[in-house]
Structure 1
Amino acid sequence: MRLTDYQIQAIRQLARQVAGSQSRVRVFGSRLDDAARGGDLDLMLELPEPVDNPALMAAQMSAQVSRIMHGRKVDVLLCAPNLMRLPIHDMAFKEGELL
């Protein structure tokens, strides 16, 4: 995984701030390939409770993580009981790694 220990800890902390203490964050996509270069960061926030404003939550998480990643593009996917589950969720669960 192409993230530093500092970045991993910061992402975990931001997930708790933005999505609550019961949230979990999973990395998926190109950042898992140690041989690759560049690329955006794909994250999935797993939430045990329904989300009132998913677009705002995803945008807040993306912006804050982008800052610690020196402006790198960050895509945030949410998984919550009240949100539709799409094939990308299945891919993130299958291939992703929990932080």
Structure 2
Amino acid sequence: MRLSAQSQAIIHQAVLQRFGDRAQVRLFGSRLDDTVKGGDIDLHIRLLEGVDNPRWEASLLSAQLQRKLDGRKVDVRVLDASHPTLPVDLVALSEGVLLT
């Protein structure tokens, strides 16, 4: 996994502040491959409860993390209990690594 312990801590804290301690955050995509360089940070946030606008929440978290991670591009997908599961969710849930 190509994500420093410091970056993981920043992500974990931001998710905790925005969604609380019941949110699960996974890293997925190219950052899981240690043989590749570069690439954005793909995050999947799974919530047990619903939120009014998961896309908006994902955008806010993405912007916050990009500022805290020195401008690195961060893509965020929020899956909550009240919206349908998409193919990207299935990939993230099956291949992603849970950040703690």
With structure 2 as the length reference, what TM-score do the two structures score?
0.93
Q: Distance in 1 between matches of 2:47 and 2:16?
A: 10
Aligned partner of 2:25 in structure 1 is 25
Q: Structure 2, unaligned stretches of length 5 or more?
A: none
Q: Kindly state the Cα deviation for residue 83 of structure 1 after the two structures are TM-superposed.
A: 1.2
Is the contact made by 2:54 and 2:79 (CA closer than 8 Å) also made in structure 1?
A: no
* Cα displacement string for residues 28-87 of structure 1 (whole angstroms, at most 9, x for unaligned residues): 000001111111110001101001121221011101111232111111011111111111
Equivalent residue of 1:35, what SS? coil
Aligned partner of 1:89 in structure 2 is 89
With structure 1 as the length reference, what TM-score do the two structures score?
0.94
Higher alpha-carbon deviation: 51-60 or 25-34: 51-60
Aligned partner of 1:2 in structure 2 is 2
Q: Percent identity?
A: 45
Q: Which runs of 4+ in 1 moved over 3 A?
A: none
Is the contact made by 1:58 and 1:77 (CA closer than 8 Å) also made in structure 2?
A: yes
Equivalent residue of 2:84, what SS? coil
Q: Structure 1, unaligned stretches of length 5 or more?
A: none
Higher alpha-carbon deviation: 63-72 or 3-12: 63-72
Higher alpha-carbon deviation: 59-68 or 1-10: 59-68
Q: Distance in 1 between matches of 2:55 and 2:77?
A: 10
